[in-house]
Structure 1
């Protein structure tokens, strides 16, 4: 048995396998690009990136894209449906903090949405 980490006698091992991209590669990269935009948004507002903030903002973007609004309970249920195990209190506290920093707005129907300035940062209309 050969150890691939040990040097050979000048004969490099040739592998007969060609690179075959994973069919889901583009789908896997798309959320990373979205997360990078959210990271820049948080940085623009002077906030550190956390998993909870990323997931909450991503859920708000998804809801807005589907013409829906989410309150704390709806947000929590949405995240649980995606197998993201965050407590109700964590979701509520993150939403309150994002509101206090001006990233998110509490609407009159107790739902949350992104502040227009935050949307402008995400769309690239305002530089981070």
Structure 2
């Protein structure tokens, strides 16, 4: 199955397979930046926080707005088994800590400072 997230991070193109090793290296780089972001806000790293922030960043880079249902659906497509309530609680916590913000359209986005931390090393 084609995974646009892996293609975007590794510079591949649709239909062109990405090696597992290349995807793993890029995911580690991306995860390290997200870990640094969480540390800078005084938050512990967890798998769900990593995945939620990655989903928000991916959506924002592609110019899409995304709400709780969108984040949850994106994680389900990646076969990440998280409940809707867990995703919602993580989004609320990240919002309370100032990492993300909730717009009037009920969509979440990274705060400019948080996005700047991620863009220091993540490929575009």
Q: Please, what TM-score do these two structures have when normalized by structure 2?
A: 0.79
Structure 2: where are the runs of 5+ without partners? 1-18
Q: Which structure 1 residue ranges, 4+ long, deviate > 6 Å from structure 2? A: none
Deviations along 1:9-34, one digit per CA (max 9) or x if unpaired, are: xxxxxxxxxxxxxx432222001100
Q: Provide the alpha-carbon RMSD of the alignment.
A: 1.4
Q: Do residues 107 (structure 1) and 108 (structure 2) align?
A: no
RCO higher in structure (CA 8 A, sep ≥6): 2
Map 1:12-23 → 2, pairs under 5 A: 23=19
- Which residue does the alignment assign to 1:44? 40
Q: Do residues 92 (structure 1) and 88 (structure 2) align?
A: yes
How far apart, in 1, do the equivalents of 2:24 and 2:44 lie?
Answer: 24
Structure number, greater radius of gyration: 1
Query: Counterpart of 1:89 in 2: which secondary structure?
Result: helix
- Which residue does the alignment assign to 2:6? none
Q: Which has the higher helix share?
A: 2
Structure 1: where are the runs of 5+ without partners? 1-22
Deviations along 1:15-57, one digit per CA (max 9) or x if unpaired, are: xxxxxxxx43222200110000000000000000000000000
